[in-house]
Homo-oligomer: A and B are copies of this chain.
Amino acid sequence: MKTISILDLVHEELQRVEQKMREASQVEYEHLAAVLDDLLKSGGKRLRPALVLLSCKFHPADAEKAISLAASVEMLHTATLVHDDMIDNSLVRRGNPTLNATWNRGATVLAGDFLFALAAGLAAEVENVRVMSIFAQGLMAICSGELKQIFNSQGNLPAREEYYQRIYSKTASLFAASTEAGAVLSGAPEPEVQALREYGRTLGMAFQIVDDVLDFVGDERELGKPVGSDLRQGIVTLPALYFHEMHPTDDALIKALNDPGEEEVRAVVAAVKESGAVESALDEARSFAQGSRESLQVLPHNEYRQAMLDLADYVVERRW
């Protein structure tokens, strides 16, 4: 796991979150225990738990419950990834084989369900009814967004509004849940809760747009997957939408969506990179990140607020 230096402030707590997740996933069947361990070790930037931890710093929060909440959010995120990979039939994530690449689909579905159960258990440890409700709403937003994506026939060009709804469900909803729940746990007054929720939402939107940009311009080794992955799955993201707006008569994109061969996908990736669509998409991400920074105005000026401001810079500048 690579670490993000902005998160040094909560480094020690993040270690405890790792420990908490490992403890929660101790199970009696060796095979499953090994798989859960791999899943949790392979795991990402830990932005969501960091957001929980930072968001409860503005008022005195129970330290142990903050760790449980942070672990719960990351566990929920991991659960959705396991099901996503199965649904998309993805064989690689973060450079590692996915669970469904090595297991049968029944075991994969159940492992995801088990992670949901662990996440719900950790959320229950927080012993806060509003946190529980935020947790449930977050999961609902994620699932309903994915269902929508399945029901809206793929391979079509979505309206930009639809794209925004999709990335809200997929990513920003859980970012927002993380910061809102952290704030609630700390007993923050309602305007701060809403400000932190809005910070999480806009940060998540910026983060996902950059993710979608990196699928065009990223380094394949850093990403741990080939560029153009979204197109191969028939998913149209913001850079492709901008490209289409700039070149409405260019049919390379439509062709690649209808027949996502290696050559067609590479051609669209190259065309999007040359078109300025990437820069336009990044402008959108920067605008959301600016929204994140502005949301923090109601909060006291301290090192935690500063880390959150820095994080808003990081999400648009990152290269992996």
Contact = CB atoms under 8 A, between A and B. Distances in A.
Task: Name the prevailing secondary structure of the A interface residues.
Answer: helix
Given A83-B109, A83-B113, A114-B144, A137 B151 contact: no
User: Which interface class (under 10, 10 to 19, 20 to 34, 35 or more) fits A?
Assistant: 35 or more
Contact of A120 (B31, B88, B136): B136
A151 B27 CA distance: 13
A111 interface: yes
Interface in A64-94: 80, 83, 86-88
Interface string A159-197: 000000000000000000000000000000000000000
Contacts of A127: 129
A297 interface: no
Contacts of A144: 27, 114
A107 B153 CA distance: 12
A98 to B, nearest CB: 14
A142 B32 CA distance: 15
A107 to B, nearest CB: 5
A112 B32 CA distance: 21
Contact of A151 (B29, B116, B136): B29
A150 interface: yes
A282 interface: no
A224 B83 CA distance: 30
Interface in A120-139: 120-121, 123-125, 127-129, 132-133, 135-137, 139
Contacts of A143: 110, 113-114, 116-117
A139 B151 contact: no
A210 interface: no
Contacts of A146: 110, 113
Nearest to A135: B120
B110 A139 contact: no
From A31, A80, A110, A139, name the one whose CB has the most chain B CB atoms within 10 angstroms: A110
Contacts of A27: 144, 147
Contacts of A32: 147, 151
A299 interface: no
28 contacts: A29-B147, A31-B151, A83-B109, A83-B110, A83-B113, A87-B106, A105-B105, A106-B150, A107-B147, A109-B109, A110-B147, A113-B139, A113-B143, A114-B140, A114-B143, A114-B144, A114-B147, A117-B136, A117-B140, A117-B143, A118-B140, A120-B135, A121-B136, A123-B132, A123-B136, A124-B129, A124-B135, A127-B129
| Pairs A-B, 7 closest by C-beta atoms | A87-B106, A120-B136, A121-B136, A117-B139, A117-B140, A124-B133, A114-B143
Given A29-B148, A110-B146, A127-B129, 11 more contacts: A32-B151, A83-B109, A86-B106, A109-B109, A110-B147, A113-B139, A120-B132, A123-B132, A124-B132, A124-B133, A124-B135
